[in-house]
Structure 1
Amino acid sequence: MSALAGQRADTPARAVRRVPLWLTIAAVSLPMFMATLDNLVMTSALPVIQADLNASVSDLSWFLNAYTLAFATFMLPAATLGDRLGRRRVMVAGIVVFTLASIGSALADSSSALIVARAVQGLGAAAVMPLSLTLLAANVPERLRPAAIGIWGGVSGLGVALGPVVGGAVVEGVSWQAIFWLNVPVAIVALPLVLAAVSESRGTWQRLDLLGAAMLGGAVFLGIWGIVHGNDDGWSSAGVLTPLVAAAALLPAYVVHARRRTDAVLPLRLFASRSFTVANLVALGFTAGMFGAVFLLSQYLQVVQGFSPLGAGVRTLPWTAAPMVVAPVAGLLASRVGVRPLLLVGLALQAASLVWFAGLTESGSSYSAFVPALAMAGIGMGLVFPSVSNATLDGLPDDDFATASSANSTIREFGVALGIALLTAVFLGNGGQIAPNGYDGAVGPALLTGAGVVAVGFVAALFTPRRR
């Protein structure tokens, strides 16, 4: 890595100091690793938490959705604050909030308390993940940026990979509360590392678009709320239709609002970049299809196949560990072949693997039959992770990196929440239950739905610019 050492880029008026590239990557990636780890760290622990807190199936999805909804809602305002107050300063504040909320999650003694703590965790993570990519991209020479983002994507994949394993190991060896206590020592290391290795930087100053942030955040929240409650309350009930209609109305209302403002929280000018627009469509289909499937399959391995939380987490590694190996390679290849072929191959592998999973679960196949499909899904995920990030920033000026990265991270987190809600809705709608026989005839249609959503992302990827 020392051969990749380069100068740190900062605002033009600031002095430039040399920091090894590997240290910059480590400094911005460790907090991001912590945030991505907590996306899925609970999946292996959900059956244990359900029994301990007497949680419902809806509660289980909200343990994850509360985090991802807050994450998705506040990333764009966090980018604006970072441009005004300093990106490193805002990211450090996010690490502190995230860590305190992790302690609150560990101390929760009811489903409602855990959901609230997870939402605050997501608020802290919103100031971490997009700004980490922004700081990395701004501090790496342009010729090395695809490779650096590939490594960053590999660390993000590592967080995804270790989530179910860490959650399973800690639950089995200690307790489910310990999965949140683990964030404390990580933060103790991350905070001084960020302060020592990352220089402060700022973007273009602009006012905080509170109304725009409320409109976009409201659309995300209301849309997921309606989907999550559709099966329990009835899709034609006022409690479901009203939020869904309101969410649909808020999006065009935001467009009208943003056209009249130069300081919109998500500037419409970004969508003039075809690469940026396509990257966000791909990110939505990719995360909704794949992470909804991870949510169901991690429980399937425990409830139906009888593995312990740790055993289930380890057995997902052919899928979830592959990105930490494949993503850095994909980052290096991006500068040679472009991101378009990487996206197409990755998404095709993922869609095919979900169809394969659906057949295996419905036929009651043993775990060994899942391994090739898990490896296929992991390779596909590793190709898509860094390619989406590279496509998001491709061709944009540096001043737009924070907002563009935040927008893409928002879409991805919305996709996670949407995918879990949507696939759970399909699972429950087909009579699914968290019981050994409750997955028959229900998990297959849910996984096929996930494959269809990923296929939509594949179609979008066909329009990715061909340039390298």
Structure 2
Amino acid sequence: MSTPSRSVSSPAADAAASQTAPTPASGSASRTASPSHARYVLAIILVSYFMILLDNSVIFTGLPSIQAGLGLSTAELSWIQDAYTLVFGGLLLLGARAGDLIGRVRLFVVGLAIFGLASLSIGLSQAGWWMIAGRAVQGIGAAIVAPTSLALITSYFEGAARRRAVALYAATAGIGASLGMLVGGAFTAWISWRAAFLINVPIAVAMIVGARAVLTETPRRKGKFDVLGAVGATFGIGALVFGFIEAGDAGWSSWRVIAALVAGVVLLVILVAHEARAEQPIMPLRLFRSRERSGAYATRLLYLGAMMGFFFFTTQFLQNAYGFSPLQAGLGFLPMTLVNFVVAMAIPRLSARISNGVLLAGGTAVTFAGMFWLSRAGLGDSYWVAVALPMILIGLGQGLAFAPLTNAGIAGVDASDAGAASGLVNTAHQLGSALGLAVLVAVSADAVADSSSVAAVTRQFHEAITASSVFLALAVLVVLIVILPARAARQA
């Protein structure tokens, strides 16, 4: 089973959770566990999930310090993030399937161990390749922990208790990414960017000890790994990302760029052909027959591509153009973080009064408005007017959009496909982040011939955030033209 990046406690999400819930034998923990024991279980799950989400963004406010300390190019700097999100997204489906076959608690502990060891390696890294490799291994650990964490919630909680647990899970997902900006900035300013990764080591050790003491292993299920499917997805998208990143340095006519893009397309075509014949496919193609779900996956790719570019380029703009320290840059994202958290917590009540379609359309449109406004920010403008106010709109739109977007990604699935549909939501989230950042780095590469120039940094920011606005405009169109009509037809 896989983890939606923004799980919700709405009726649709509850239905999906119930579809993927274990059999009574495996779910008995929720009926026998005392309230205090249940709190320990939930704390272990949420802290572990928060840790991997935090590392999706904790790095951003430290990027200038990392680039200077390790002597990285812009392309290498983007790979520090892409290596994590790419492997994380590419292996999510395999991680979800492995939990069913091997045992969720056992795999959960293995994932925490991998993540903790990779974090230690990153904190000690002395070269760009070392750090990029460590981030890729971190992605493996995250791809194991993320899907098994939600699967464990369905094993231990039922009914109202499960709805509350999923609501807390949603809040964790809602604030993890944006709070990482502040945490990363604080560590970079007060200690070092390395501390933001080394802190994961004691957390991972504590969660492993807690998991082994508190959690009970789930029964194994019979089945086969679709290893070829997971490998094909990872390397296919990886080749495309590499091609886009290389285009920023070498140009679109470079043989490396052309070869990577062609290889990516070929691998993805082979992946589709394999999944059509696989006995137990990791990505059932029947899930794409629904226009609503397909539209949701496309929207998530576009939306996360825009948001990853927003985090990546805005933190550098605040530090290199506005002169913010890493801590000030982290605090600069606080308006968005607070609004996002408040709206995400209110979504269950809003969903009872407003349709998911209206929330989704409104959320994507408001995010687009905020991103376009932010793209106009200049050196002479006030932070509060040119940056903070647009961020409030972006946080509002993000809080409104993610819950109904997750619901659309799992809408109408059969019980046997609920886990795979949730996995595709996760995969679209992570791969959208990786591909989006790669495209934006390539689009804005011509603006940084002199990366030390404040004017060049500002031009790069304008070009990247404008391109992010285009992504969001396309996302709004997909919602209006594809998702909403398909949703109305399904409900009718």
Q: TM-score, normalised by structure 2?
A: 0.86
Match of 1:178 in 2: 195
Checking the alignment, whether the CA contact within 8 Å between 1:88 and 1:198 is kept in structure 2 is: yes
2:444 counterpart SS class: helix
Q: CA deviation at 1:147?
A: 6.3
Q: CA deviation at 1:37?
A: 0.6
Superposition map of 1:25-104 within 5 A: 25-104=42-121
Q: CA deviation at 1:22?
A: 5.8
1:328 partnered with 2:345: yes
Match of 2:335 in 1: 318
2:25 counterpart SS class: coil
Change in CA separation of 1:263 and 1:10 when aligned onto 2, cut-off 3 Å: closer
1:153 maps to which of 167, 170, 173: 170
Checking the alignment, whether the CA contact within 8 Å between 1:157 and 1:321 is kept in structure 2 is: no
1:446 partnered with 2:464: yes
2:383 maps to which of 350, 367, 380: 367
After TM superposition, the structure 1 stretch with the greater mean CA deviation from structure 2, 131-140 or 285-294, is: 131-140
Q: CA deviation at 1:282?
A: 1.9
Change in CA separation of 1:460 and 1:262 when aligned onto 2, cut-off 3 Å: farther
Amino acid at match of 1:446: A
After TM superposition, the structure 1 stretch with the greater mean CA deviation from structure 2, 113-122 or 51-60, is: 51-60
Superposition map of 1:296-311 within 5 A: 296-311=313-328
Q: What CA deviation, in whole Å up to 9, does each residue of 1:208-231 have, x standing for no partner?
A: 122222221111100100000002
Distance 1:124 1:336 in 2: 39
2:456 counterpart SS class: coil
Checking the alignment, whether the CA contact within 8 Å between 1:292 and 1:422 is kept in structure 2 is: no
Q: How many residues align?
A: 461
Amino acid at match of 1:333: L
Checking the alignment, whether the CA contact within 8 Å between 1:90 and 1:127 is kept in structure 2 is: yes
Unaligned stretches of 5+ in structure 1? 1-6
Superposition map of 1:68-467 within 5 A: 68-137=85-154, 140-141=157-158, 148-195=165-212, 199-201=216-218, 205-361=222-378, 364-369=380-385, 370-431=387-448, 433-462=451-480, 463-464=483-484, 465-466=487-488
Change in CA separation of 1:15 and 1:66 when aligned onto 2, cut-off 3 Å: closer
Q: CA deviation at 1:440?
A: 3.6
2:459 counterpart SS class: coil
Checking the alignment, whether the CA contact within 8 Å between 2:102 and 2:220 is kept in structure 1 is: no
Change in CA separation of 1:221 and 1:354 when aligned onto 2, cut-off 3 Å: same
After TM superposition, the structure 1 stretch with the greater mean CA deviation from structure 2, 297-306 or 53-62, is: 53-62
Q: CA deviation at 1:181?
A: 1.2
Q: CA deviation at 1:276?
A: 3.2
Q: CA deviation at 1:82?
A: 1.1
Distance 2:478 2:160 in 1: 27
Amino acid at match of 1:436: V
Change in CA separation of 1:80 and 1:61 when aligned onto 2, cut-off 3 Å: same
Amino acid at match of 2:22: D
Distance 2:27 2:318 in 1: 54
Checking the alignment, whether the CA contact within 8 Å between 1:27 and 1:198 is kept in structure 2 is: no
Amino acid at match of 2:116: T
Amino acid at match of 2:301: L
Match of 2:22 in 1: 10
After TM superposition, the structure 1 stretch with the greater mean CA deviation from structure 2, 230-239 or 245-254, is: 245-254
Q: CA deviation at 1:138?
A: 5.8
Distance 2:177 2:53 in 1: 6
1:10 counterpart SS class: coil
Distance 2:471 2:452 in 1: 24
After TM superposition, the structure 1 stretch with the greater mean CA deviation from structure 2, 102-111 or 188-197, is: 188-197
Q: What CA deviation, in whole Å up to 9, does each residue of 1:373-429 have, x standing for no partner?
A: 111101111122333333333433454343322222121111111122111222212
Change in CA separation of 1:434 and 1:326 when aligned onto 2, cut-off 3 Å: farther
Q: CA deviation at 1:52?
A: 1.3
Amino acid at match of 1:357: L
Checking the alignment, whether the CA contact within 8 Å between 2:116 and 2:205 is kept in structure 1 is: no
Q: TM-score, normalised by structure 1?
A: 0.91
Unaligned stretches of 5+ in structure 2? 1-17
Distance 1:139 1:279 in 2: 29
1:442 counterpart SS class: helix
